[in-house]
Amino acid sequence: MQAFIAQCKAELLRSIRNKRFIIFTILFPVAFYFIFTSVNDANMKINGVAWKAYYLMSMTAFGLLNSSISSLGVKMAQERSQGWVRLLKITPLSSVAYVGSKIIATSIINLGIIIIMFLVGNFGKGVDLSITKWVSCGAWLLLGSIVFLALGSLVGTTKKPETAQPIASIFQLGLAMLGGLWMPVVTMPKLMQDIAHWMPTYNFAQGPWRILAGQSVDLNNIWILGGYLVLFFLLSSFIFKKQNAE
Amino acid sequence: MKNAIEIKNVSKQYQHKKAVDNLSLTIKEGSIVALLGPNGAGKSTTINMILGLTEPTSGQIKLLGKAPKEKSVRNKIGAMLQEVSVIDGLKVRETIDLFRSYYSNPLSTNELLKISNLESDQNKFASDLSGGQKRRLGFALALAGNPDVLFLDEPTVGMDITSRQIFWETIRSFAGSGKTIILTTHYLEEADNLADRVVVINQGNIIADGTLDEIKASTGMQHVSFTIGENVTSDHLLRLPGVTDVQQTGRRVKVYGENTDQILFSVIRNNIDVSDIETHKSGLEDAFQSLIESSDSKGEDNYASIYRTV
């Protein structure tokens, strides 16, 4: 337990010290949020929701997507290629504690991203929601980011960090765009809309978007996210097992 | 005394190569054992199997009486692996503290900083250290859990001569404390200075195993040289007990045998007319070379890969 806590602390420290990580998970989302709520009318309605509130959820989801994929995926690939994981294998630290501490540390960071983004939205752009709505949006985003942690661990199976980094970027940018985090899905052509509905990012952000619109939870979102979670998890554990057997 | 390591009939088959071939080895607690052999001989594969990093294809390995992967075993071992590895985003002291947290009975942080001579660099980021400093950090991490068994796989690669000397002095000070140390090294004189047992591995097999003196003697490389009087011939000398070969250049002869003391004793007891006596004990390197050469069926192909002292 002591080892697990120390491992979590170390992971937190490493993430906070990583400039690239902070830029992609906090600075970019905040900057995009300010830019796109300024060039567009912040109070225009998307599905009956004010753009400044709608886009706040989009950009929070974008930050979480980046943080989850890079902290698990890119870091794990790096640590494996540098022999660090091999060194850990001969210590009493279990592999469950190793991966678990990364998940916990990233979840704490993710919670931090949610809080920072919500504060920025509230104080910077005057997004005014009820406590219940803030909390339920935050809870959905925090829980939903587990799907992207699983995707991160799949990226982490890449043997070379030089490959893991671009793969992570492709997932981060691709999923953000296709899932309507950058531009609302309703503004996309029909084909792109159909694709978006199957993206994990769309189903992830759809939770808070619906909460903002006062709609109930759509089970389809949960099923699709759950499906992706199982898929990513099974794939990455299958690949890890195969690599370990070598 | 108990066995720290027991290896029974272990083989490791890779796709195209048998790295380790039916190897058996027992290492007692508290001993310092050097594994020597040319590149690709199977030393690192053997160490990795003892550490549980590589699964043997067949055979059995026990480390401290248990399977190497047991958590209680991991708590009692430490290792410097061949590849140097540090974690980014953590300082030297933080890295050491992190490793200490894994073990139930760690050495103190200050002690580890002192042993690794990193006290003045403790607040540097580990990734900013020089190659030699990273190696020393690796050494501190290997000792973090105050291990009973310490594995050092080519620990001084990348260190300059001074660092190497300091490093081996530190190891030597540990050696007396009852710890078992298994090491591989490119630098034969380092093994020569430190190990009380040398195991020579070639082509996945043990080809020699014993104390340094035994290994040196077993190769028959020792000889006595002296100048012989007019009426002495090499035939006389060959008939003496313990003599295996005689080479003569003018009146100077080299008399080969396993035990130079015995040769001298016979020479003197038989009143053979000799002067200017010199005895030559071969170094570990000579012994090593001759062992590898005689075990290599391929011969010259492998000479190039035989280790050299610096």
Going by pLDDT thresholds of 50, 70 and 90, the confidence category of residue B168 is confident
Share of chain A above pLDDT 70, in %: 99
To 10 degrees, what angle do helices A28-39 and A51-69 make?
A: 160
Q: Which of A130, A132, A117, A15 is nearest to A68 (CA)?
A: A15
Is B8 in the same domain as B52?
Answer: yes
**pLDDT tens digits, B41-93:** 888 899 999 999 999 999 999 999 999 999 999 999 999 998 888 898 999 99
Is the CB of residue B215 less than 8 Å from the CB of residue B287? yes
- Out of B118-127, B266-275, B283-292, least confident range: B283-292
For residue B307, is it within any domain? no
Chain B contacts to A (CB-CB under 8 A): 51-53, 55, 71, 74-75, 77-79, 81, 83-90, 94, 97-99, 101-104, 138, 141, 145
Does position B157 have pLDDT exceeding 60, yes or no?
A: yes
- What pLDDT does residue B214 have? 79
Question: Which amino acid is it at B248?
Answer: Q
User: ipTM of this predicted complex?
Assistant: 0.87
Does position B257 have pLDDT exceeding 90, yes or no?
A: no
Q: Count the domains in chain B.
A: 2
Is B169 in the same domain as B272?
Answer: no
Going by pLDDT thresholds of 50, 70 and 90, the confidence category of residue B219 is low
The shortest C-alpha distance from A160 to chain B (Å) reads 15
**pLDDT tens digits, B192-201:** 778 889 898 8
**pLDDT tens digits, A29-64:** 999 999 999 998 889 998 889 999 999 999 999 999
Is the CB of residue B154 less than 8 Å from the CB of residue B82? yes
Long-range CB contact pairs, A30-39, < 8 A, 24+ = A30/A59, A30/A116, A30/A117, A30/A120, A32/A59, A32/A62, A32/A182, A33/A59, A33/A117, A33/A120, A33/A121, A33/A124, A33/A125, A34/A124, A34/A125, A37/A125
Q: Under an 8 A CB cutoff, do B102 and A93 touch? A: yes
For residue B117, is it within any domain? no
CATH code of the domain containing B158: 3.40.50.300
CATH code of the domain containing B232: 3.30.70.100
Contacts of B85 in chain A (CB under 8 A): 82-84, 86-87
Dist CA B101 CA A145 (whole Å): 29
- What pLDDT does residue B152 have? 93
Is B7 in the same domain as B70?
Answer: yes
* Domain assignments of chain A as residue spans, ordered by start: 2-245
Host domain of residue B50: 3-76+148-216
Question: Which residue on chain A is closest to B150 by alpha carbon?
Answer: A90
Is B178 in the same domain as B227?
Answer: no
- What pLDDT does residue B299 have? 41
For residue B59, is it within any domain? yes
For residue B95, is it within any domain? no
Question: Which amino acid is it at A228?
Answer: Y
What is the pTM assigned to this prediction?
A: 0.81
Question: Which residue on chain B is closest to A89 by alpha carbon?
Answer: B53
- What pLDDT does residue A246 have? 58
Q: Which of B71, B85, B97 faces A83 most closely, judged by CB atoms?
A: B85
Q: How many CB atoms lie within 10 A of CB A64?
A: 30
Q: Under an 8 A CB cutoff, do A92 and B84 touch? A: no
Angle at B170 between CA B138 and CA B119, to 5 degrees: 60
Dist CA B142 CA B145 (whole Å): 7
Is B20 in the same domain as B50?
Answer: yes
Question: Which residue on chain B is closest to A12 by alpha carbon?
Answer: B89
Which of B193, B216, B239 is a domain's end point?
A: B216
Dist CA B236 CA B139 (whole Å): 56
For residue B257, is it within any domain? yes
**pLDDT tens digits, A124-174:** 999 999 999 999 999 999 999 999 999 999 998 888 888 999 999 999 999
Is B70 in the same domain as B194?
Answer: yes
Q: Which of B51, B84, B89 faces A17 most closely, judged by CB atoms?
A: B89
- Out of A13-17, A146-150, A187-191, B205-209, least confident range: B205-209
Is the CB of residue B224 less than 8 Å from the CB of residue B279? yes
Pairs across A and B, CB distance < 8 A: 68
Going by pLDDT thresholds of 50, 70 and 90, the confidence category of residue B221 is low
Question: Which residue on chain B is closest to A76 by alpha carbon?
Answer: B87
Is B39 in the same domain as B72?
Answer: yes
Is B7 in the same domain as B72?
Answer: yes
Is B210 in the same domain as B239?
Answer: no
**Which region, left, alpha or beta, applies to residue B9 given φ > 0 means left and ψ of -120 to 50 means alpha?**
left
Q: Under an 8 A CB cutoff, do B101 and A89 touch? A: no
Contacts of B81 in chain A (CB under 8 A): 83, 86-87
Share of chain B above pLDDT 90, in %: 39
Going by pLDDT thresholds of 50, 70 and 90, the confidence category of residue A245 is low
Q: Is A227 helix (H, G, I), strand (E, B) or coil?
A: helix
Is B209 in the same domain as B244?
Answer: no
Which of B216, B238, B260 is a domain's end point?
A: B216
Is the CB of residue B261 less than 8 Å from the CB of residue B267? no
Does position B94 have pLDDT exceeding 80, yes or no?
A: yes
**Residue A194: both structure tokens together:** 């159909």
Mean pLDDT of chain B: 85
Q: Element (H or E) spanning B79, and its range?
A: strand B77-80
Going by pLDDT thresholds of 50, 70 and 90, the confidence category of residue B302 is very low
The shortest C-alpha distance from A57 to chain B (Å) reads 30
